[in-house]
Structure 1
Amino acid sequence: MKKSMQGGLVYSTEHGRMCPQCRQPQAQCCCKAAAPTGDGIVRIRREVRSGKTITVIYGVLLEASALALLAKELKALCGTGGTIKDGVIEIQGDHRELIAKKLATRWTVKQAGG
């Protein structure tokens, strides 16, 4: 378990990330601290981390459970792995065009970065 400088639990090996407001696991958060905010434009960019390319999708205004379902659908579409971290979907590999085409049916999509 990790504790923040102020003494609050921020991560539990049993539950994962904890909400800083209500101190519940983020999947069971009862406050609106985890509510999605943004301008309504989904941005997709490519990043290189430790020599590996990943596709990062942010700006998707969905609750945590719906975001998890979308991430699962995108991972299946690309045939690769990925994760969700702090409301941002990370997909292994460079799949910007494929993901942009899929998400353009529901949102305004912009490709960012190189």
Structure 2
Amino acid sequence: MDLQDQLKNLFPDHEPEETPETNEEPTVWLQDEPLLCKYEKRKGKPITIIDGYNGAQSDFKQLAKELKTMLGVGGSFKNEQIIIQGDYRKQIMAFLEEKGFKTKRVGG
């Protein structure tokens, strides 16, 4: 006797709900304006800043997490900007273009 049969014996009137399973990746808001990929030095250390996103803040945070995981570096999300430690503009721009974003390189 498996678990389903045991549950039917305990709760004969219950009808299980059917939940559709989807294997879709979460969609991200794509925008018309390009994302700005800036390079700066703070306290002598290089950082890359992604700015100009006008979608939902939760989507932008998810994008920040994916970038940090892909690059294997630290970073943060502050003031509606993604701050990545190090100069990774090429990799970040390639990743964002692969996701469907338009990017624009700003700074040195």
CA distance, structure 1, for counterparts of residue 51 and residue 32 of structure 2: 11
CA distance, structure 2, for counterparts of residue 62 and residue 77 of structure 1: 22
Q: Which residue of 1 aligns with 2:70?
A: 77
Q: Which residue of 2 aligns with 1:110?
A: 104
Q: Secondary structure at the match of 1:47?
A: strand
2:50 to 50, 57, 61: 57
2:84 to 70, 81, 91: 91
* TM-score of the two chains, using structure 2 as the length reference: 0.67
CA RMSD of aligned residues (A): 1.4
User: Higher strand share goes to which structure?
Assistant: 1
Q: Quick one: which amino acid aligns to residue 65 of structure 1? A: S
* TM-score of the two chains, using structure 1 as the length reference: 0.63
| Percent of paired sites with the same residue | 40
**2:33 matched to 1:40?**
yes
User: Higher helix share goes to which structure?
Assistant: 2
Q: Higher Cα Rg: structure 1 or 2?
A: 2
CA distance, structure 2, for counterparts of residue 39 and residue 86 of structure 1: 21
Higher relative contact order (CA closer than 8 Å, sequence separation 6+): 2
Runs (4 or more) in structure 1 with deviation over 6 Å come to none
In structure 2, runs of 5+ residues without a counterpart are 1-30
Displacement after TM superposition at 1:85 (Å): 1.0
Please give the residue correspondences for 1:10-29 in structure 2 after superposition, counting only pairs within 5 Å.
Answer: none
In structure 1, runs of 5+ residues without a counterpart are 1-37
CA distance, structure 2, for counterparts of residue 93 and residue 56 of structure 1: 10
Q: How many residue pairs end up in the alignment?
A: 77
